Each structure stands twice: as C-alpha cells, then as structure tokens.
Structure 1
Amino acid sequence: MPAALNRLTADDDLFLKLHDLYGTALVNQLAWRFDETLDPAVLERLHAHLANGFLARRVMTTAVPFARPWWVPATTAEPLAVQQRPVPETGVLDWLFEQSKVEFDPVTGRVWRLSVAPTTSGGTLLSLVTSHVGADGGAVLFALGDALRRLDAGETPDIATSSGRLVGSNPVGGLSRAHLADAIGQLRAAARGIRAAVKAREVREPDRNPRPAEPRLPLPDRHSPADLVVEVDAAEWNSVAAAHDGTDNGLMVGVAVGLLGRSGRIEGGTQVRVDIPHSLRGIDDPRGNATTGLPIAVPCCKGERTNLRQVRIAIKRAARAYADPATTPALQHLQPVQMMLPKPVLGFFSRTAKAPECLCTNLGETGQGVATIAGVRARSVLMRPVVCTGDTELFRRVEVGLNLSWSSDGDTVTLAITGGDPDRFPTRAALRDHVADEFEAWGLAPRFWT
C-alpha cells in the first residue's frame, strides 16, 4: 500500500469543477509596487523556487468511482512573463488586471504565473496570479514565504527540501487498493454527512438578497468588474474602528455594507449577508484550499454608518456556531456528497447558483512577511481575489456583488475593492465615487491607486 495521497479537499474539488464549467473566472493575485528596479536574475531564481514549491501541483484522477483526485508535483509552469514597455503611474491598476487574463490548466500544473514590468518612474511592478483550484490566500503566502527564504539563503530550487515536499507524490504500485479504500471512506463520509445534515436541518444561515432587476444599463456583451485599490494609514484605520466600538475587520465590513447601500444594490433597513473567509490552515498543511466561510447578517442603514459593535458580535457568534457540528448548516455537512456529484449534475445545479452578495476577506498583516525580495522592500503590497472578464449576462444571472480584501504591513492598510454587479458598478469611476463618499462618512482619508 503506498503512502497516503494528498487528496483534493471539497473546496479544491468544487473549484476544479467550476473551472471545467467556466474556465479561469476567478484568480488570486499578490502584487508589489517597488520604487527600484529589480534584478531580472533574482526574479528568474524566485520563479524557479516557486516552480519547485507548494504552488507547483497538478491534478491526477482515477477511474475508481467515488475515489478523490489527488495532487502530485507539476513538471511545467507558466514562464516568467516579462514586459519591456514601462507602465505609467496612471496605468498600474490596468496592468494588474491584465495579469488575470490567463488560462490556467490544473491537469498540466499551469496554475500560477509570475509577471513583471518596469514603471515610467523607474520602479517595478510584480504580480503573482494563482488559480483558486490549487491555492487559497494562505497557501499562496506559505509558498511565497518559503520561496523567499530559500532565495535569500542562496539555496538550489528543489522539491524534496522545500515546501514542494508537501504537495504529495504518485507512488508506483498499490494505487488501485488505495483508490478503493478512499472510495469506501468517501461513501462512509457521505453517510455521516447526510446524518449530520438531517440533525442540523433546522440550522439557518443568513439569507442573501435577490439582485434588483432594475436599473439595467446598456452594456457591452463582455464585462470587466470595476476594481479599486485604496490605501489608508493603519493608525487612522484602527483609530476610527476603535472610536465606533469595532475592529479593523469590522470596519471593512461596515464600509462594504455602506457601499452596497450607496450603490442601490441593497435597500435601507435590509439585512445584508456578508461572507467572511476563515483560515483553517495548520503548520505544514498540504491542502491547497483550507478555508471556511463565516456568514453573518448586517443591517444596512442607508445614510448612516454601519453599527460596528453589531458586526463584532455577529462575527463572534458565527465563529462559535461553525465550531460546533450541531450548529453548522446542513450544506456544510454534505461536502463529501458534493464531491461525488459528476460534472454534468453540478452543471445543472450551477444554473441556479449565486455568487456572494458581499465577500470580505481579512488577510491580516501579511504584507510584512513578503514585502522584501532579495533585500529590496516594496513600497506597497496587495493581495486580492480578481473576478475575471466574462459575459455580462452571466454576472447578472449569478448576481455577483461586492468583494473587499484587507491587508496591512503594520503601517498602511491596503483595501482592494471589486464591484462585480455590472449595473451598480459599471465603471471604476462609479465605484470610486461611492468609495470616496463612504470613506468621507467614516472620516477616513483614502489614497487611490491609479
């Protein structure tokens, strides 16, 4: 019997099936703005470490019914993408979004891309875009942190001694027995999940609000979601949060709910469902995706600031509820069943599936650990999910809402905001107007990336 394979998690599997249905529709992006020029040789070595590290994985499948796919190290990767043409300071956001236009392939292992471009001011832009099939935000930071440590130490790129060792292997012999054992284990897990779901059938999650049908703007057939990046002094952000009996996380949620109200997506007096990703990643965790979501209900008081004390209480209550199987919603217990669904069945259910109306991701002070590359410290570090360009009608049908991603380097808060509703946030300028008004209401002084 071979060693245990690194099987895909339920989230890995769901993202893989969605990738098969929609292609590369959502990616994660880690980006840096440097005032200096980075040595091309350093970036080539960083790329080599990443190509032998935690992100370098590809999906293997078996014909044994119900046995889960598994990860093995990838033997190929997207090459380092080097742009020679300098990017103007007013074109940074456009360049960063352009890096999301890549077709990943989890089967071959092409699931990440490192890109670099000079700026007209003599600096450097660097982007690491990753497929959500193989890596959540925590996995990206873990992989990059390991690659940077090995780069600084002058070590040779190597799977066996780097974070790549955790990806798994494809041992010879005994695989049929291993897959049969996994299939039996999955059937048992599904049975346990169904029993738990029945017991939790009265547990209710906050409802999401249906997307208003009007207004319906005359838009092109293809749509790129409006995106912004805003910086605020960390001391200022924390001071405002504390003044309103909230936390840094709660203020992000408060801003998000306010933006939905200002845009007309949510009516005043309505409860907004806000989904907050919560990392479950442990030390040397081999999982690509190790995150759960905590849904909370937040009142939208149009024309008034969100009550941050209520947000803080709601987040704590949701965390306690999800820690207890008895108060975990039934759908969460059914993940083993979800993994057994063939793609055609999932495609049928996806016709009525909806995107989050409000997703708020707090990445903490992650910027400090990855801000320096070979001794050169970035002026700014950004981490965010990117909703890629797609059919306008698809955005309307799945009712894409608002995504916010918060991170800090200890001195500066960087907030990435994506307005996916094409009729409420048709352009970056429209989104910026709402953000400027909402920040002014909180007494925050935003600095917008351009």
Structure 2
Amino acid sequence: MGRLSVVDEIFLRSHRGLGTPIALQGLWRTADRVDHTLLVRVHAALQSGPLGRRVIRSRVPGARRAWRPNVRAYPIDRAEVVLPVAEMLDWADAQGAGLDPEYGPGWRLSTAALDDGGSVVSLTCSHALADGRALVLAVDDALGGARVCPPEAAARDSDWSDARRQWSIVLRGTAAALRHGVPRQPAGSCRDERPRAAGDATRSAILQCPAAEWDRVAALDGGTANSLFIHLVATVLWDSGFPGETIEASLPVDTRDEPRVDNDLAMTRIAVTRADTPATIRTLARSAYEHRMSAPNGMPEELLQVIPDRWAYALSEGAGELDILCSSIGTLPVSLRALGPHRCTGVAARAIHPGLTPARLPRTRLSGYLCRIGEDYVLSLVSLDPARIESADALRELAVRATGSAGLSAHAW
C-alpha cells in the first residue's frame, strides 16, 4: 500500500515528457449559474480527499515511488467572461495545463458561465493520480456519495524492504524468461504513416443520447451498449478517411475489486474490420477481456520500476496505443447528476492531452469515452489526427453522421 503501481509510473513518465501527456477530465453542464460558494465546498472536499496526494521518490535503488498527502491545491479557476457554448470544449481542452503530480497540485477545479444561461464545471487531474473510474469515485466522495479512503502513505523506513522485494521479483522473473531464450523485440505494427503535423494536435466533440434508444439499437442484432460504442468510434475513424481495412482498438479494463482512487486498469485489444457489427464486436471483446496485454517480451513488469526512467520508457513505449482507444467508464453515481441545487443537463468523462504537439502525436488516431448518467449515454471523442479531422466542427459532423446512420438521435454539446 502507498506505492505507485507499474501503470501509475507509466503515466508519471508521460507527464514528464516520456510518452503522450494525459489528464482525466470530468465536465458538468448546468441549466443555471452555479453558486461559487458551493464550488468552494466541493474544492475543499477534493483537497482533503483521495486526489490530495503527490509522488515522493525514494533514494533507495529499486524501491518504488510512494504517495504522500498533499493539501496544496490550485484555487478555483473562473473564466473572466461569459463563454459562448460554441467555445466550451476549446475552454475545457485548456484546463489540463500546469498539473504536476510530483511537485505541485495534480488536479484543478474550473468553471465558466455560458451564454445559454448555464455553467460548465471542469475537474481535471493528472492520469498519474487516477484513471477514469477513479476520478468518478473521487468526485462521488467529494459530493457526499460513497466514501473513498485515500491510499495509505508508505513509511520511508520500509524503502529497503520494498527494494529487496522488487529486485527479488525482477531477478527471478527475468531468469525465468531467459530460460526460454533471449526475448525478441516485437515487430512494429502496421500503420498509416501519413504525416499529421498540422495545426493544433487535438479536436473534441461530445454527444448525448437517450439510454433507452442506445440500448435498443445495440440489442437489435445482439450487441451491447459497449460494442455499439466501439463500432461508432471505428466508424468515425473510417469516415474521416482512415485507409486501413482493419482498425486495431485498445480497450481499457477496470480491474479494481473495491472502490479505490488509483490506476487500477489493464489493457486488451481487438481488431475491427469494416464488416464487423456491434454483435461481432461483442464476441471479439468478450474473448479479448480474457487475454490482457502483459509486460514486454515476457519479462516481469516490475522491471520497469527498477531501471532508469528513459530505459523504462524505451521498453514500454507505445504500450496500449493502437488506432483507436475505447474507454467505457460505466454508469456514474447518482451524486453526479446535480451540483447542490443545480441540476446537470449533461455530464461527460474523458481524457485530454495538455501540451501535446503535432510533432509528438501517438499512433492513436481517435479516442472515445462512454459513460451513462441518469437516462442518457454521453459519448466523448478526442481526435489526434489533425490532418484528417481539421476542426472540432468536422469531428462533430462525423460523430453526428455515425450516430444517425446507426439509428440514434444524439445531440452534440
């Protein structure tokens, strides 16, 4: 307890420039102006909750980094002007700057008044602190829902015992792997190499659809809400001009057995063809969930925690990055449907990429995030292919076309 996992450290390295920068974001839209006093109370609860921690490095070689409480937090960020609804996602995309899970606050609460008379509230945190489901749990805790205890802080005097444990696992695991021969470097995946260095790196769109309609369409030929989601994300990518006949999809899997605010996930993958339907994708995904992605070349994953960061990055570079990412966050708690007396007209959960430039784009072309809140599903899309999807308007049009073709009456934020 109190130590960073292998996945935590992958996201910490990406924050330091060794990989694709990722921050998690929850967005709330309300029909009226949110009272600032309420946000002050939510901010205080987040500050003392499970997101209130930071990373401490050990001086003992091989000992894992540890968590320490951190009550330091950014003040609530309030937009100075009333924001046009058309500019809301541009504003939201910019809320991940300056997060630092190691030396400073790793999360930020922001808000803006909208020109439709409502408000938008954003909670953004470094992916090193939490995955998508963990961010939901942290917010539920802050809003008075299910309580979540912060991770236990690791005692400094246990660093030597942790280092002995880590080195023991690594040495035994490496010896076992080498008995089967020197592991070969995996062959690089085939990908479209069309240059993507044009303009800003990402574009965003969010669509909302009645859950009953989504479930009905998914079930028409034996699919599920999740397989329809994957099918839609793949369709948007193909409709953008992606030339491949097969799209490789990365699927995060929630592995927590109790409510914890951390990165408790594994990755799996499927290959989607143009002939696939939500029903066939359901079968593919069910099989894939039984075969999770493992450490590189059969080596123990703890190896990534005892070697220098740049070596660890070289061994794990691109882990989980395929043509699309489809992250199903699940049903959000009842507490998230309102902010105090302010009813939420929509709630979205997604990832953004602060500081990502066209020169550092990953293999992933399109990321999708699906959550259910009350009687609606909310689909969030983030494009990382500025050459093919040149604007947020273009992404929104592609998404509306894909959902409409599937028989859904989704509306864009």
TM-score with structure 2 length normalisation? 0.90
Hey, what does 2:252 align to over in structure 1?
Answer: 277
CA drift of 1:440 comes to 2.9
Q: Aligned in 2, Cα 1:404/1:196: closer, same or farther, shift over 3 Å?
A: farther
Checking the alignment, whether the CA contact within 8 Å between 1:113 and 1:130 is kept in structure 2 is yes
Deviations 1:88-147 (A, max 9, x none): 2222222211223x1112223410000011122321110000100111112211111111
Cα distance in 2 for partners of 1:293, 1:283 equals 19
CA drift of 1:367 comes to 5.6
CA drift of 1:349 comes to 5.0
- After TM superposition, the structure 1 = structure 2 runs for residues 198-217 of structure 1, keeping only pairs within 5 Å, are 210-214=190-194, 216=195
Hey, what does 1:185 align to over in structure 2?
Answer: 165
Q: Aligned in 2, Cα 1:49/1:351: closer, same or farther, shift over 3 Å?
A: closer
| Pick aligned residue for 2:204 from 224, 227, 233 | 227
Cα distance in 2 for partners of 1:109, 1:24 equals 20
Secondary structure of 1:320's aligned partner: coil
Number of aligned positions between the proteins: 412
Checking the alignment, whether the CA contact within 8 Å between 1:274 and 1:296 is kept in structure 2 is yes
The code of the aligned residue for 1:427 comes to S
User: Is 2:123 aligned against 1:128?
Assistant: yes
Checking the alignment, whether the CA contact within 8 Å between 1:209 and 1:273 is kept in structure 2 is no
Across the aligned residues of Structure 1 and Structure 2, the Cα RMSD in angstroms comes to: 3.0
CA drift of 1:399 comes to 2.3
CA drift of 1:350 comes to 7.1
Relative to structure 2, which stretch is displaced further, 287-296 or 377-386? 287-296
The code of the aligned residue for 2:204 comes to D
| Pick aligned residue for 1:394 from 357, 360, 372 | 360
Cα distance in 2 for partners of 1:119, 1:332 equals 51
Relative to structure 2, which stretch is displaced further, 20-29 or 62-71? 20-29
Hey, what does 2:283 align to over in structure 1?
Answer: 313
The code of the aligned residue for 1:228 comes to A
CA drift of 1:84 comes to 3.6
- After TM superposition, the structure 1 = structure 2 runs for residues 56-95 of structure 1, keeping only pairs within 5 Å, are 56-95=52-91
Secondary structure of 2:330's aligned partner: coil
Checking the alignment, whether the CA contact within 8 Å between 1:200 and 1:329 is kept in structure 2 is no
Cα distance in 1 for partners of 2:59, 2:326 equals 38
CA drift of 1:319 comes to 1.9
TM-score with structure 1 length normalisation? 0.83
Relative to structure 2, which stretch is displaced further, 250-259 or 420-429? 420-429
Hey, what does 1:159 align to over in structure 2?
Answer: none
Cα distance in 2 for partners of 1:232, 1:254 equals 16
Q: Aligned in 2, Cα 1:348/1:313: closer, same or farther, shift over 3 Å?
A: closer
User: Is 2:336 aligned against 1:341?
Assistant: no
Cα distance in 1 for partners of 2:412, 2:178 equals 49
Hey, what does 2:235 align to over in structure 1?
Answer: 258
Hey, what does 2:371 align to over in structure 1?
Answer: 407
The code of the aligned residue for 2:87 comes to G
Deviations 1:317-350 (A, max 9, x none): 122234xxxx967657632011122123235557
Cα distance in 2 for partners of 1:276, 1:134 equals 20
Q: Aligned in 2, Cα 1:39/1:299: closer, same or farther, shift over 3 Å?
A: same
- 5+ long unaligned stretches in structure 1: 153-161
Q: Aligned in 2, Cα 1:210/1:423: closer, same or farther, shift over 3 Å?
A: farther
Hey, what does 1:158 align to over in structure 2?
Answer: none
Secondary structure of 1:360's aligned partner: strand
Relative to structure 2, which stretch is displaced further, 54-63 or 354-363? 354-363
Checking the alignment, whether the CA contact within 8 Å between 1:139 and 1:288 is kept in structure 2 is yes
The code of the aligned residue for 1:290 comes to D
Paired-residue identity, %:
27
Deviations 1:44-84 (A, max 9, x none): 11101100000011111111100001101103111111224
Q: Aligned in 2, Cα 1:194/1:264: closer, same or farther, shift over 3 Å?
A: farther
- 5+ long unaligned stretches in structure 2: none
Q: Aligned in 2, Cα 1:383/1:148: closer, same or farther, shift over 3 Å?
A: same
Cα distance in 1 for partners of 2:298, 2:400 equals 37
Cα distance in 1 for partners of 2:176, 2:30 equals 51
CA drift of 1:374 comes to 1.8
Cα distance in 2 for partners of 1:434, 1:384 equals 18
CA drift of 1:416 comes to 0.3
Secondary structure of 1:133's aligned partner: coil
The code of the aligned residue for 1:118 comes to A
- After TM superposition, the structure 1 = structure 2 runs for residues 423-438 of structure 1, keeping only pairs within 5 Å, are 423-438=387-402
Hey, what does 2:102 align to over in structure 1?
Answer: 107
Deviations 1:132-168 (A, max 9, x none): 0111112211111111117x9xxxxxxxxx74x5332
Cα distance in 2 for partners of 1:388, 1:421 equals 15
Deviations 1:396-445 (A, max 9, x none): xx323110000111311110011112222222232233223322321222
Cα distance in 1 for partners of 2:296, 2:277 equals 29
Cα distance in 2 for partners of 1:330, 1:197 equals 11
Hey, what does 1:243 align to over in structure 2?
Answer: 220
Secondary structure of 2:290's aligned partner: helix
CA drift of 1:233 comes to 1.4
Q: Aligned in 2, Cα 1:292/1:170: closer, same or farther, shift over 3 Å?
A: closer
Hey, what does 1:98 align to over in structure 2?
Answer: 94
